[in-house]
C-alpha cells in the first residue's frame, strides 16, 4: 500500500462514494492537507465516534475536507519510457 501525502494525485476507490451526506463523483483530485486524524461521528443517539486518518482534497474546483484515506487511492507516476 502506498501512503497518501500532501500534493499527491488521488482518485476514489469506488464511484460514486457517499460521505458525510454528499456524493463524491470526481475522477482525480490533489491532496491539499494531510493526512491528519479526525473524529468522525457515525451515530448521534447513542453517540458513536471513531478516529480516522483523513485528508483535504481539491477536485473539479471544489475542496472536500476530511475525506478518509480508506476511500482514496494514490495515482502512480508512469514509468520512464512507458507508453
In a domain, 81, yes or no: no
Q: What is the mean pLDDT of residues 7-31?
A: 90
The total number of structural domains in the chain stands at 1
What pTM was computed for the model?
A: 0.81
- Secondary structure of residue 63 in the 3-state scheme: strand
In a domain, 26, yes or no: yes
In a domain, 47, yes or no: yes
In a domain, 66, yes or no: yes
- Secondary structure of residue 81 in the 3-state scheme: coil
Per-residue pLDDT band for 40 (boundaries 50, 70, 90) equals: confident
- Secondary structure of residue 80 in the 3-state scheme: coil
CA pair distance 43, 2, nearest whole angstrom: 31
Q: What is the mean pLDDT of residues 44-61?
A: 92
Q: What is the mean pLDDT of residues 45-59?
A: 92
In a domain, 13, yes or no: yes
Residue-number span of the structural domain to which 70 is assigned: 9-74
In a domain, 80, yes or no: no
In a domain, 44, yes or no: yes
Amino acid at each position: 500500500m502506498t501512503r497518501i501525502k500532501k500534493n499527491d494525485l488521488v482518485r476514489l476507490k469506488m464511484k460514486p462514494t457517499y460521505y458525510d451526506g454528499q456524493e463524491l463523483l470526481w475522477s482525480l483530485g490533489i491532496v491539499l492537507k494531510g493526512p491528519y486524524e479526525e473524529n468522525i461521528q457515525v451515530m448521534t443517539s447513542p453517540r458513536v465516534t471513531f478516529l480516522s486518518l483523513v485528508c483535504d482534497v481539491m477536485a473539479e474546483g471544489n475542496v472536500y475536507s476530511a475525506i478518509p484515506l480508506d476511500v482514496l487511492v494514490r495515482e502512480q507516476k508512469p514509468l520512464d519510457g512507458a507508453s
